[in-house]
Amino acid sequence: MRRTTTFALVAGGATAAVAGGAYARARLAGHGSDKPLPDEDAVFSVYAPGGKYGFLANGPVGWVIARTLMPVAEAGVYRAIAEVVDLQPDDELLDIGCGPGAFLAAKAQHVHRIVGLDPSPTMLHAAERRLADRIAAGTARLVAGSAADLPFGDGEFTAVTAIFAPLSHAEAFRVLRPGGRLVHLDNDPRRSPSEPASAWGRRRYDEADHRRMFEDAGFTDVTSRYRGAPPLAGELLVSGRKPVA
Ligand SMILES: C[S@@+](CC[C@H](N)C(=O)[O-])C[C@H]1O[C@@H](n2cnc3c(N)ncnc32)[C@H](O)[C@@H]1O
């Protein structure tokens, strides 16, 4: 019995250490040393189940991150996103890469309908627990899928968010109604100027790149702003609106 408890404590501690280390590295360092440069679409598979960094969002490491580190460490990020997206009671919100559903639970309780999309069963399970009341009431839905190919019809949403998650601007544009807004939060691109090309299996984009991706997809009223500053954790928030035809 004592041996089982010791084993459980050691295994749990090791998993928490790996999860904490990986999470801190991704959030604070914000870069990796991947070479060669990943292709633009690599971001849609590297963090998904089976992907190179899929362990960060799946299995025991993903479990620890989903239930402990992410919701706590990102409280300030959720506040910043909520300020920019300015959710209203009649909004229909899609959160791409919703993870454990912490943003939806903390900042979108007053919103008419919320949908969280994520490819990770570990994350969706954590989100299911967090949003149980709203799912039971029929005002929240969790969907397994990828940002690359959103399993939704055209114009289903009035607002789309993507927080530290892969994003296809064209797909977000498609599922938004005219007048709908997209808010994307990513690591501050100024953190590692000496490693401009690749970060954790994906391309690094600077502020101008982010704005261009919004504009190329058709968004107008594009804004960008930083939250925090390197070398401490910092993020870039970019937003845009789908024009009213
Ligand atoms: C760093 S977590 C952020 C979670 C959440 N947005 C938050 O900030 O609390 C990134 C999330 O993106 C998800 N993800 C990975 N690949 C994805 C893809 N192709 N499409 C959508 N989400 C993806 C992961 O499973 C994970 O839940």
Does pLDDT of 23 surpass 70?
Answer: no
User: Any idea where the domains of the chain sit in the sequence?
Assistant: 5-241
Topology classification of domain 5-241: Rossmann fold (3.40.50)
Q: What is the pLDDT of residues 32-58, one digit of tens each?
A: 444 556 677 888 988 899 998 899 899
Given a cut of 50, whether residue 103 has pLDDT beyond it is yes
Output the residue whose Cα is nearest ligand 1's atom 11: 97
Question: Do 171 and 242 meet the contact criterion of CB atoms below 8 Å apart?
Answer: no
| C-alpha 88 to ligand 1 mean position (Å) | 24
Cβ of residue 74 lying under 6 Å from some atom of ligand 1: yes
> 93, 121, 103: which is closest to 185 by C-alpha?
103
Q: Which of 72, 68, 48 is nearest to 58 (CA)?
A: 48
Phi, psi dihedrals of residue 58, rounded to the nearest 5°: -135, 165
Provide the pLDDT for residue 108.
Answer: 97
147 lines ligand 1 (CB under 6 A): yes
Q: Evaluate: CB of 103 within 6 angstroms of ligand 1.
A: yes
Task: Dig out the tokens for 19 from the structure.
Answer: 């999860």
Half-sphere exposure at residue 215, Cβ-oriented, CA atoms within 13 angstroms: 10
Pairwise CA distance, residues 78 & 74, whole Å: 6
- Is a pLDDT exceeding 50 seen at residue 184? yes
The helix (H) or strand (E) run that includes residue 77 is helix 75-85
pTM to 2 decimals?
Answer: 0.86
As a whole number, mean pLDDT of residues 7-25 equals 55
Name the token pair of 16: 């928490």
The best mutation among 27, 56, 120, 160 to test binding of ligand 1, ranked by most ligand atoms within 8 Å of the C-beta, falls on: 120
- Average of per-residue pLDDT across 128-152: 98
130 alpha carbon – ligand 1 mean position (Å) = 16
